[in-house]
Amino acid sequence: MTASHAGTTLTPDQPFLDRPLSRHRTVGVRVGGVMVGGDAPVVVQSMTNTDTADVDATVAQVAALHRAGSEIVRVTVDRDESAAAVPRVHERLLRLGIDVPLVGDFHYIGHKLLADHPACAEALAKYRINPGNVGFKEKKDLQFGAIVETAIRYGKPVRIGVNWGSLDQELLTRLMDENQSAGSPLTAREVTREAIVQSALISAAMAEEIGLPRDRIILSAKVSQVQDLIAVYIELAKRSDHALHLGLTEAGMGSKGIVASSAAMGILLQQGIGDTIRISLTPEPGGDRTREVQVAQELLQTMGFRQFLPVVAACPGCGRTTSTVFQELAANIEEDLRRNMPVWREKYPGVEELKVAVMGCIVNGPGESKHADIGISLPGTGETPAAPVFIDGRKAATLRGLDIAGEFQVMLADYIERRFGADAKQAAE
C-alpha cells in the first residue's frame, strides 16, 4: 500500500515523520561515566573558554556548564601551566559533587604535556587529538603515536578531531595532485571534503594498529559550512562504525550560529548520524557560555530525540495580544523550570515530560491549554479579564485580578509536587 501527499507517493520503506528513526550503528565509547555511541542517547557536550591554568575560573565555568546540562566538558591544555592545573580542577569539581568527564584539547605539543604531567593524563576522561597539527613531517606519526600510547597506558578514549582550518596539508596536496592527474573529475571543494574524511579514517586505523581498541575511538570532522558538514559526515558514516562527534566549527554569534548549527546537525541527526553534539557559539561580550548547552538540548528535544526540560507552549502574539502579560509569564516559567531542573530531576523523576501552555487569547488558548498537562489562557485585548486554567485536559479554575501570573505559578508548583512528588514517593516505597 502506498500513500499520496501533495503529488508525492510514499512507500513503506521511505522515512516519514511518524516513522521511528534508525540510528547509524556505531561502537559505544565510555567517556568517564558517560557512554557515547552504541545504544546510548545523543550526548550533549561543551567547552570552556577560560584559561585552564586559572583553576577558580575554570572550575566555576565547568560547574555552570554541567548544571546547564553539559554531560561532557572539554578544556584547553596548551602549556605546562594548564596541564598542571587539570588535576586540581578535577579534584575541586569532585569536592563540589560534580563528576563530569573532562576532555583535554591538545594541539602541537600534546604528546609532551601528557608525558610531563602524568596527573593530567590520569585526571582527564578523554584526549582530543587533531591529526592536522599533532606534529609535522617525520615527527607527525611519532607524536600521534605517543599520545595514543598514553591513552592506552591510562585506559582513556581518544577523539580524533579533524578540522577544516588545520587540515593535514600533505594529505590534501597529494589528493589534489591525484585528482589533477585523473583529469580533475572532482572540484577542489570535493577533494578537500575527501581529505577530511580520509584524515579521520587513516588516523583511526593508525590508532588501532598501535593498540587502541575500537571502543576507545571517537571521530569528528568539523567544518564551518552547513553543506560541507552534511556531506562529510554522511561519507564518514558510510565508511566507518566509529562513534561520531558532530559540530559546526566557527558557527558564529547569536542567531547566525544557532541557525547554522541547527540546520546542519538537524539534517544529520534526522538521518541517524551523530552520537554526541557540541553547538559552537561565539559568545557575546560578557555573554553566558551555557547558551550553547541550552541550544544543543533544545535541538535534541525539538526533534524528539531526548527530553531535558518541560515543554512550554506559548503563542507568538498578534494584534489580539497587545498586553505583554503572557510573554512575561511564559519567560518567567521557562526561566524557573530551567533554574530548578537540576534539583527537580532528583526530586521529581519524570518532570522533564511536563507540558505547560501559556496562551495569549481565546482563539487558540483554551484548546492548546487542554492539550497540555497544565495551561492558562490569558485574556486578549478587549476580552473579559479572566484566565481559565486547565489541568489534565479539564478546566480547573478561572483566575481574575492583578496577580493572575503569580497565582498560576503557584498552581504550577502545586501540580508538579502533587503529580511528580507522589510518583517519587510511590517509587521510594
Q: What is the pLDDT of residues 12-37, one digit of tens each?
A: 454 444 444 688 999 999 999 999 99
How confident is the model at residue 6, as a pLDDT? 42
Q: Residue 250 region, left (φ>0) first, then alpha (ψ -120 to 50), else beta? A: left
Per residue in 392-423, pLDDT (tens digit) is 999 999 999 888 888 999 999 999 999 998 66
How confident is the model at residue 10, as a pLDDT? 44
More confident residue, 34 or 331: 34
The single residue listed with the C-alpha cell 578514549 is 157
Identify the CA nearest to 101 among candidates 83, 89, 111. 89
* Position 164 confidence tier, pLDDT thresholds 50, 70, 90: confident
Residue ranges of the alpha helices (H) in 211-324? Answer: 226-239, 254-270, 291-302
CA 335/CA 337 separation, integer angstroms? 5
Per residue in 305-318, pLDDT (tens digit) is 999 988 888 888 78
How confident is the model at residue 21, as a pLDDT? 61
Give me the amino acid identity at 101. Answer: P
Percentage of the chain beyond pLDDT 70 is: 93
The C-alpha cell at 427 is: 517509587
| CB distance 64 to 73 below 8 Å | no
CA 104/CA 283 separation, integer angstroms? 21
How confident is the model at residue 177, as a pLDDT? 95
How confident is the model at residue 5, as a pLDDT? 39
How confident is the model at residue 429, as a pLDDT? 56
pTM: 0.86
How confident is the model at residue 20, as a pLDDT? 45
How confident is the model at residue 184, as a pLDDT? 86
Phi/psi for 326 (5° steps) reads: -70, -30
* β-bridge pairing 374-377 and 387-391: antiparallel
**Lowest mean pLDDT, pick from 232-236, 258-262, 273-277, 284-288:** 284-288
**Lowest mean pLDDT, pick from 59-73, 83-97, 107-121, 326-340:** 326-340
Helix (H) or strand (E) holding 171: helix 169-181
Percentage of the chain beyond pLDDT 90 is: 66
Per 3-state DSSP, the chain is made up of helix, strand and coil in percentages (nearest 5) of 45, 15, 35
| CB distance 251 to 283 below 8 Å | no
Mean pLDDT of the chain: 90
Helix, coil or strand: residue 274: coil
Per-residue pLDDT at 157 exceeds 60? yes
How confident is the model at residue 1, as a pLDDT? 36
Residues in CB range of 318: below 8 A, 6 or more apart = 360, 361
CA 55/CA 290 separation, integer angstroms? 18
Phi/psi for 48 (5° steps) reads: -75, 155
Between helix 291-302 and helix 254-270 the angle, nearest 10°, is: 40
CA 26/CA 408 separation, integer angstroms? 46
Counts of helices then strands in the chain (DSSP H, E): 14, 17
Mean pLDDT of 196-207: 96
Per-residue pLDDT at 135 exceeds 70? yes
Residues in CB range of 427: below 8 A, 6 or more apart = 349
| CB distance 243 to 210 below 8 Å | no
- DSSP-derived secondary structure letter, 400: -
Helix (H) or strand (E) holding 195: helix 188-210
How confident is the model at residue 317, as a pLDDT? 78
CA distances 407 to 188, 245, 369, Å, are 62, 44, 16
Mean pLDDT of 320-337: 81
